[in-house]
Structure 1
């Protein structure tokens, strides 16, 4: 039986590879110019710390795991609580503070002193190049894209499908004033209809002064790519958002590395860190943090309150869907870190962060 499963895994991997090559699914990358900070060589970006090289054997082993390893409790057996939002709800919020809403996975909505900002908006049913196959949402977004007010800024951390969603961008392009993206990601946005003069591309450590204060793009330990042959041709990173009163950090995706401490020293302390806590595994530990490492990253960043993100919406790994929450709670208590775990769609302000709530656990 195991031999049959292994054979099916290898054949499936081969068929999928041929299928993707024939469809020519890959990022549309423009010529990259003026890279000052991020390591860039041979038309590819690189991390500041070495990654474990991924060989064909490694990929084959991963496919074998995918088809043969029994996944346990990777989809919720509870109805995930989601607070429905309307445009009226958002417009009723005051313009004199920073309001925050966790929409799902790593998607965040901010009302930043009157301006609406979206971070990594993914509203599609699947985090995939196809809507008939791939990781499917556990819950619907709290609000439809069409119901959002005019968006002042959309911030993208990198071009993976669970962070850069073509269908969402195509809805947003007519109602968004400005897209802030890593170098190279502008190629896809322009191909999807976004006007070039509405896009600002960022190198690591690059800053942009805004009406509210400052936005900066900082390093992470990750990679990029949307198909066959486009690996690492666009940049990846994290976002720092500062106002005269507040300081936020959004991690995007990353393995644990020394860059968090460097960011904390340069831009910290942070009132709130939104740190990747989910989709981790022993086979890719250098590009996605374990929950214990996520807590350490928060400490390195000099964060005051940590909100775990990159969880609760898609099945992207082999661990149970609630494991990121269970482990980050345990570690935060051990390290005396203040944790905030708001339900999706709940509106809160930077001055009134919700306390720890174990919404992912079944009711007694």
Structure 2
């Protein structure tokens, strides 16, 4: 068992206790598919120079501003969608942020890289007092350095997979605030039981740190709820194992956006999302990883249109709140097609 009170005591270059670490890098339970040099080069050319116009909306999306009144009126067990995979959760009377990204670009550069086409429904300064931040992995659309730096002194706890905690320390987060976990390890904060569960993805923020930090999903168990936060993942057998160990879940927040068959092993296609939902034995599906950044080649609203159709065919309880809308997780409801 890892040291769970603060950052693990290992260096950020070696995690010998982890079955996912091969001595140099972290790895998935099964190898990723590989693209030829020609296929990869074409994909990169298309991404930067040949993207369809409809990958971003031609109008501002509807949203509900999260102001002081909305926060004070929010009951316990409420979730607010902030865009992409960022969530604001109110659990056991306290607020938690999930994969918060408030910067204009999901990129290491200020003037280059995927730019936000939809503002967040709340500003950093307007966030309520935060109990903690939950991070799934180190990619720029899930871990935003500027957001972390802005919030590090206003947050009591940071939860992250192995290696990501070490990165937070480099950014100035106090080590005693951080708990970083391997897959299947858990940590309790107050009345919430947190488990770092597996995902099938990868990590890296530059040219030389590929898979140097672990990626994960999160299982949260409170006295009233069981929640699954999927992070990023391709479809894999791990969902069945998580469902067996911790299901049934009241709600599953699963990736549905920025997909393509060429990288389906690390980002689920819509039909994969439905399969994962079934494996998790969840009651309500909340599709995320959409409505903020242009990261693929499909129309920006394709995730919504496909998921509504698939959910209807599979009789799946689907909740697609507009950005900023607060949803009672104890009694979710289907939402109108705001997109």
Q: TM-score range by the shorter chain?
A: over 0.9
Residue from 44, 58, 79 that aligns with 1:77? 58
Task: Provide the secondary structure at the position in 2 that maps to 1:100.
Answer: strand
The aligned residue for residue 301 of structure 1 is 280
The aligned residue for residue 44 of structure 2 is 63
Shift of 1:134: 1.3
Counterparts of 1:277-316 in structure 2 under 5 Å?
277-316=256-295
Counterparts of 1:113-262 in structure 2 under 5 Å?
113-262=92-241
Number of matched pairs: 329
Shift of 1:54: 4.5
CA contact 1:80–1:138 (8 Å) conserved in 2: no
The 2-side partners of 1:159 and 1:271 are apart by 27
CA contact 2:47–2:296 (8 Å) conserved in 1: no
CA contact 1:112–1:212 (8 Å) conserved in 2: no
The aligned residue for residue 13 of structure 2 is 31
The 1-side partners of 2:69 and 2:302 are apart by 35
Structure 1 pair 229–58 and aligned structure 2 pair: CA distance change class (3 A): farther
CA contact 2:14–2:23 (8 Å) conserved in 1: no
Task: Provide the secondary structure at the position in 2 that maps to 1:170.
Answer: helix
Residue from 325, 332, 335 that aligns with 1:346? 325
Give TM-score scaled by structure 2 length. Answer: 0.93
Gaps of 5+ in 1: 1-28
The 2-side partners of 1:161 and 1:304 are apart by 30
CA deviation string 1:98-131 (max 9, x = no partner)? 1110110000001112111000000111111112
Question: What RMSD, in angstroms, separates the aligned Cα atoms of the two structures?
Answer: 1.5
CA contact 1:32–1:183 (8 Å) conserved in 2: no
The 1-side partners of 2:36 and 2:26 are apart by 18
The aligned residue for residue 300 of structure 2 is 321
The aligned residue for residue 70 of structure 2 is 89
Give TM-score scaled by structure 1 length. Answer: 0.87
Residue from 21, 34, 41 that aligns with 1:53? 34
CA deviation string 1:225-262 (max 9, x = no partner)? 00001100100010111112111101000000010011
Residue from 3, 24, 30 that aligns with 1:43? 24
Shift of 1:64: 2.9
Shift of 1:31: 3.0
Shift of 1:149: 2.1
CA deviation string 1:115-170 (max 9, x = no partner)? 11000000111111112111111211111111112211100000000000001001
Greater alpha carbon shift after TM alignment, 185-194 vs 248-257 = 185-194
Greater alpha carbon shift after TM alignment, 226-235 vs 137-146 = 137-146
Task: Provide the secondary structure at the position in 2 that maps to 1:274.
Answer: strand
The 1-side partners of 2:214 and 2:316 are apart by 31
CA deviation string 1:157-187 (max 9, x = no partner)? 0000000000100111010001001100122
Shift of 1:55: 5.1
Task: Provide the secondary structure at the position in 2 that maps to 1:66.
Answer: helix
The 1-side partners of 2:43 and 2:247 are apart by 38
Task: Provide the secondary structure at the position in 2 that maps to 1:306.
Answer: strand
Shift of 1:88: 4.0
Aligned structure 1 segments of 4 or more residues deviating by more than 6 angstroms: none
The 2-side partners of 1:86 and 1:121 are apart by 17
Shift of 1:73: 0.8
CA contact 1:72–1:319 (8 Å) conserved in 2: no
The aligned residue for residue 10 of structure 1 is none
